[in-house]
């Protein structure tokens, strides 16, 4: 006689077979059959009780991004389900494999307008690559197994809607999982041909100012790319998500482009005559690629991405690192390039400016020294969960991230409130690593209730809140709206985040001047080492970081004409700056030089 087991238990065994160790969610009546199963399986699958379903979904998305493995979240019928959507869209946009289990009323109550019943399939159809309502108890484990396969295949969200009564039904206790060792094999990647690479090399030779725009598709090929950059004398410009994939000590790494980027990356991109987009999905292309004409080569493992952000002069369907290796194999070393040296000098000038700001002492506190202290206590294995806002810019500019570090952000969906959930995921999946979340006060206050989750599960997370009672990122956008007479809707009521944390049993300290940062971070490091979470409320000024987006670069009569965008600080509140040196001085950048200065020193002719 075949043994039986509740269908919900059989489903959880499938999830366990795929290597899942924890599952994020919040209970509801329509999910009780699964909650019952979680009680039975608690020795093999840890249930993490978050205080809001959005936090659970964001945590699952972050978990999948950090590990590359399937992550699981759930919500009950009605509001429990709809609360998941923000985190699931984050997973979809950043191509993270996530399984969402959705509660539904018992099958015999469906279509009767029962309490919290609604048609969930249409709600989740857009966010998911696979969405099914389970039709029989016996099919529940099979559908979940299939959903996991689809999430991996499409690197996206799979949704399974479960009528609550089905989970209690006894079904045969047999292996329903399809996972096997072959799932751990690396997927074959498309490869560039000799002919394609030779065509790229010919275009590089014909160019006078080539750049490589590097995306996260480079994965573990950062060292080879640096070798290629040196060999061909081509500067590298990053997308934000590549931070840490290439050594930031390499002189040819100009950092990111666009608002969150470096002065040098923006200037050099604006005079490039050939851009090689290497494994990148660049959502700000319409801000950057449209500023001037250039030849465009796109290298991508997904041919459906060709032409997505710019018309093609050449598309190469290939894995980014394989392409780089083939370029190394078929290229010859090039002599020293004056253009490359000008780009390097421009970036060194920018980095010296950033170092000055990060190391100076200020009272009241500014944001740069906060990152300087974080760099001091962090190590080469620290995991960072970054929230959305000004800290996106500041981390990219000021935090030291190495290939051995891990960091996560809501990149393309850009959901505020992702910092704490990502840190929870990081602490669970990497318990032997230091974990840090970084949020502004606007983002932190959206999810700060889940500090109690950190406390409940003994997660030693350093929560840094940069607090200035303002939505700073939006404030800076509104500053550049001509004719806007005042800021609108961005002021936040001040809160004592440390007192709030202490009410949850979490220790913390408030810092208002840079002289107090060292003691605060030392205290935080000691508390983390003891296995407890900690909050640093860094009360910073409203100061805007240097607005590289205000720089306008054009070539006229063989020279660079660099000006300030007339829209910069064009509202009726902020101080308006008209000229380049005035912009440098306004941001304490007396040492900053215009691009033409470095072109002249390197004797570059345009």
Q: Spell out the alpha helix ranges (H) of 482-558.
A: 497-503, 517-529
Identify the active-site residue in 377, 474, 481, 490. 474
Domain check: are 534 and 449 in the same one?
yes
Reply yes or no on whether the pLDDT at 48 is more than 70.
yes
Q: Which of 320, 347, 374 is where one domain is finished?
A: 347
Domain check: are 254 and 369 in the same one?
no
Which domain covers residue 115, as residue numbers?
A: 4-172
How many domains in the chain?
A: 4
> Is residue 284 in a domain?
yes
pLDDT tens digits, one per residue of 465-488: 999 999 999 999 999 999 888 999
Domain check: are 116 and 198 in the same one?
no
Mean pLDDT across the stretch 39-60? 98
Identify the active-site residue in 9, 20, 50, 53. 53
Structure tokens at 81: 């389900």
In 513-585, beta strands by DSSP E: 534-539, 551-556, 559-564
490 catalytic? Reply is no
The whole-number pLDDT of residue 572 equals 84
Question: Cα dist. 385→12, 25, 317, 393 in Å?
Answer: 28, 19, 32, 14
Confidence (pTM): 0.96
477 catalytic? Reply is yes
Reply yes or no on whether the pLDDT at 112 is more than 90.
no
Identify the active-site residue in 116, 199, 523, 581. 116
361 catalytic? Reply is no
Tokens 């290597």 correspond to 19
Q: Which of 497, 522, 539 is where one domain is finished?
A: 539
pLDDT tens digits, one per residue of 117-129: 788 899 999 999 9
CATH number at residue 445: 3.40.50.970
Strand, helix or coil for residue 457: coil
Mean pLDDT (the chain) is 95
The whole-number pLDDT of residue 114 equals 80
Give the per-residue SS3 of 292-361: CCCEEEEEECCHHHCCCCCCCCEEEECCHHHHHHHHHHHCCCCCCCHHHHHHHHHHHHHHHHHHHHHHCC
Reply yes or no on whether the pLDDT at 204 is more than 90.
yes
pLDDT tens digits, one per residue of 302-318: 988 888 888 999 999 99
> Is residue 179 in a domain?
no
The whole-number pLDDT of residue 186 equals 85
Pairwise CA distance, residues 520 & 506, whole Å: 15
The closest of 161, 127, 157 to 143, measured between CA atoms, is 161
Domain check: are 314 and 395 in the same one?
no
CATH number at residue 238: 3.40.50.1220
Q: What is the pLDDT confidence band of residue 528, given thresholds at 50, 70 and 90?
A: very high
The whole-number pLDDT of residue 236 equals 98
Identify the active-site residue in 259, 384, 464, 604. 259
Domain check: are 250 and 309 in the same one?
yes
> Is residue 46 in a domain?
yes
Domain check: are 343 and 442 in the same one?
no
pLDDT tens digits, one per residue of 410-461: 999 999 999 999 999 999 999 999 999 999 999 999 999 999 999 999 999 9
pLDDT tens digits, one per residue of 257-297: 999 999 999 999 999 999 999 999 888 888 899 999 999 99
Q: Which of 172, 202, 224 is where one domain is finished?
A: 172
Domain check: are 257 and 212 in the same one?
yes
CB contact at 8 A, 45 and 19: no
> Is residue 288 in a domain?
yes
473 catalytic? Reply is yes
Identify the active-site residue in 31, 473, 534, 584. 473
Cβ-based neighbours of 171, under 8 Å, separated by 6 or more = 4, 5, 6, 7, 10, 137, 138, 140, 141
Structure tokens at 460: 């030693």
Mean pLDDT across the stretch 242-252? 95
> Is residue 92 in a domain?
yes
603 catalytic? Reply is no
Helix (H) or strand (E) holding 214: strand 210-214
Burial of 63 (0-12, 13-18, 19+ CB in 10 A): buried
The percentage of the chain sitting over the pLDDT mark of 70, rounded to a whole number, equals 100
pLDDT tens digits, one per residue of 137-180: 999 999 999 999 999 999 999 999 999 999 999 999 999 999 98
Mean pLDDT across the stretch 94-111? 92
474 catalytic? Reply is yes
Identify the active-site residue in 388, 408, 424, 564. 388
Domain check: are 135 and 246 in the same one?
no
Identify the active-site residue in 39, 477, 590, 591. 477
Burial of 279 (0-12, 13-18, 19+ CB in 10 A): buried
138 catalytic? Reply is no
Reply yes or no on whether the pLDDT at 42 is more than 70.
yes
> Is residue 517 in a domain?
yes
Cα of first residue to Cα of last residue in the chain, in angstroms, is 83
Q: What is the pLDDT confidence band of residue 1, given thresholds at 50, 70 and 90?
A: low
Domain check: are 136 and 241 in the same one?
no
Pairwise CA distance, residues 465 & 542, whole Å: 14
Domain check: are 247 and 375 in the same one?
no
- Strand duo 157-163 + 130-133: pairing: parallel
Domain check: are 16 and 157 in the same one?
yes
CB contact at 8 A, 100 and 75: yes
Domain check: are 264 and 302 in the same one?
yes
CB contact at 8 A, 298 and 316: yes
> Is residue 436 in a domain?
yes
> Is residue 38 in a domain?
yes
pLDDT tens digits, one per residue of 587-597: 999 999 999 99
pLDDT tens digits, one per residue of 490-522: 999 999 999 999 999 999 999 999 999 999 999
Identify the active-site residue in 39, 44, 115, 360. 115
388 catalytic? Reply is yes
Question: Cα dist. 548→344, 479, 553, 564 in Å?
Answer: 17, 14, 11, 10
pLDDT tens digits, one per residue of 170-196: 999 999 999 988 888 888 899 999 999
């Amino acid at each position: 006689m075949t043994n039986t087991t509740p269908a919900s238990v059989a489903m959880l065994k499938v999830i366990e077979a795929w290597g899942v160790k924890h599952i994020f969610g919040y209970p509801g009546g329509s999910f009780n059959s699964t909650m019952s199963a979680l009680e039975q399986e608690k020795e093999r699958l840890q249930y993490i009780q978050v205080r809001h379903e959005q936090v659970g979904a964001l945590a699952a998305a972050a978990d999948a991004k950090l590990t590359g493995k399937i992550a699981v979240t759930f919500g009950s019928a009605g509001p429990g389900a709809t609360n998941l959507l923000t985190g699931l869209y984050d997973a979809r946009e950043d191509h993270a494999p996530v399984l969402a289990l959705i509660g539904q009323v018992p099958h015999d109550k469906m279509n009767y307008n029962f309490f919290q019943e609604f048609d969930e399939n249409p709600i989740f159809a857009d966010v998911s690559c696979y969405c099914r309502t389970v039709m029989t108890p016996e099919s529940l484990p099979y559908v979940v197994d299939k959903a996991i396969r689809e999430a991996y295949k499409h690197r996206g969200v799979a949704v399974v809607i479960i009528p609550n009564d089905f989970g209690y039904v006894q079904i045969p206790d047999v292996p329903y999982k399809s996972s096997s060792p072959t799932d751990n094999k690396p997927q074959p990647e498309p490869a560039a041909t000799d002919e394609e690479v030779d065509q790229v090399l010919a275009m590089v030779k014909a160019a006078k100012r080539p750049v490589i725009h590097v995306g996260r598709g480079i994965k573990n090929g950062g060292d080879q790319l640096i070798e290629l950059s040196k060999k061909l004398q081509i500067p590298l410009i990053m997308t934000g998500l590549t931070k840490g994939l290439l050594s930031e000590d390499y002189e040819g790494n100009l950092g990111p482009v666009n608002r969150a980027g470096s002065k040098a990356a923006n200037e050099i991109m604006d005079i490039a005559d050939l851009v090689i987009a290497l494994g990148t999905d660049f959502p700000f292309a319409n801000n950057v690629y449209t500023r001037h004409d250039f030849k465009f080569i796109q290298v991508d493992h997904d041919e459906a991405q060709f032409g997505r952000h710019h018309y093609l002069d050449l598309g190469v369907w290939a894995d980014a690192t394989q392409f780089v290796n083939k370029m190394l194999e078929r290229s010859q070393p090039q002599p020293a390039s004056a253009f490359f040296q000008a780009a390097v000098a421009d970036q060194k000038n920018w980095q010296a400016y950033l170092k000055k700001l990060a190391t100076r002492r200020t009272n009241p506190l500014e944001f740069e020294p906060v990152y300087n202290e974080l760099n001091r206590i962090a190590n080469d294995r620290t995991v960072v969960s970054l929230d959305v806002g000004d800290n996106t810019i500041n981390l990219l500019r000021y935090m030291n991230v190495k290939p051995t570090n891990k960091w996560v952000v809501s990149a393309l969906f850009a959901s505020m409130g992702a910092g704490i959930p990502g840190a929870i995921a990081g602490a669970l999946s990497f318990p032997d690593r230091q974990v840090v979340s970084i949020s502004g006060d606007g983002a932190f206050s959206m999810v700060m209730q889940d500090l109690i989750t950190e406390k409940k599960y003994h997660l030693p997370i350093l929560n840094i809140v940069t607090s200035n009672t303002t939505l700073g990122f939006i404030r800076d956008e509104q500053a550049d709206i001509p004719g806007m007479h005042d800021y609108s809707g961005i002021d936040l009521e001040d809160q004592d985040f440390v007192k709030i944390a202490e009410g949850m049993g979490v220790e913390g300290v408030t810092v208002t001047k840079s002289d107090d940062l060292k003691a605060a971070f030392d205290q935080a490091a000691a508390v983390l080492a003891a296995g407890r979470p900690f909050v640093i409320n860094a009360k910073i000024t409203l100061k805007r970081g240097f607005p590289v987006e205000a720089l306008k670069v054009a070539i006229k009569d063989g020279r660079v004409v660099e000006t300030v965008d007339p829209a910069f600080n064009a509202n009726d509140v902020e101080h308006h700056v008209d000229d380049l040196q005035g912009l440098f001085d306004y941001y304490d950048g007396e040492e900053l030089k215009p691009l033409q200065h470095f072109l002249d020193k390197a004797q570059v002719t345009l």
